[in-house]
Chains A and B, each alone.
Chain A
């Protein structure tokens, strides 16, 4: 299983972009990179995932380094509702064992 390293916590001002980094230097070539977030007192929710190229959806963008050893989740305009723990999860194709780690706690300042 690929190991991940994420900052324990980050802060952002409301309405500003946020870049959440994840290091996954042991990732293999077929591992997808998933991001989930967990709002306070709730179950996790899916944010985005990708394999090689950058990905965008209505919630966020995912920038994947060319060597795939790191990725960055980008929230374009942070809101108070984005305050959550964000998990970066490499997942091998065809497997089912999500390893969540401890994630990054994002605090959004009004």
Chain B
């Protein structure tokens, strides 16, 4: 298993540009999520999904869109990049709580995004 993969590893954008961060998992996990981590801070939840076709907002959803058309993929779209979105972005996945009660999340290696 490749686990959770994220692309790209690094990205530099100009203010106003849009882009999509890719996240994929091959563990057949229902639950997937996106976090951002600013320097010296903990992770903050952006959006999450409990299955294909179902998404919901986390703590800091503004400026980001998500969709979940397949179990494997959960892309994060920045609509109009701003310097405040400079951060490291992590994707995570796990089995849903309804199956195992509680379970561990598996995190990807992260995408480091800089917005100029």
Contacts and interface: CB of A to CB of B under 8 A. Distances in A.
Interface in B27-82: 31, 33, 35, 40-45, 48, 50, 56, 58-59
Interface size range on B against A: 20 to 34
Given A43-B90, A43-B110, A44-B90, A100 B44 contact: yes
A97 B110 CA distance: 19
29 contacts: A32-B102, A34-B102, A42-B109, A42-B110, A43-B4, A43-B108, A43-B110, A44-B43, A44-B90, A44-B92, A44-B105, A45-B107, A46-B104, A46-B106, A49-B102, A49-B104, A85-B42, A91-B102, A93-B102, A96-B31, A96-B33, A96-B48, A96-B50, A97-B45, A97-B59, A101-B42, A102-B40, A102-B41, A102-B42
Given A96-B48, A98-B45, 11 more contacts: A36-B105, A43-B107, A45-B107, A85-B42, A95-B97, A96-B56, A96-B97, A97-B58, A98-B43, A99-B59, A100-B42
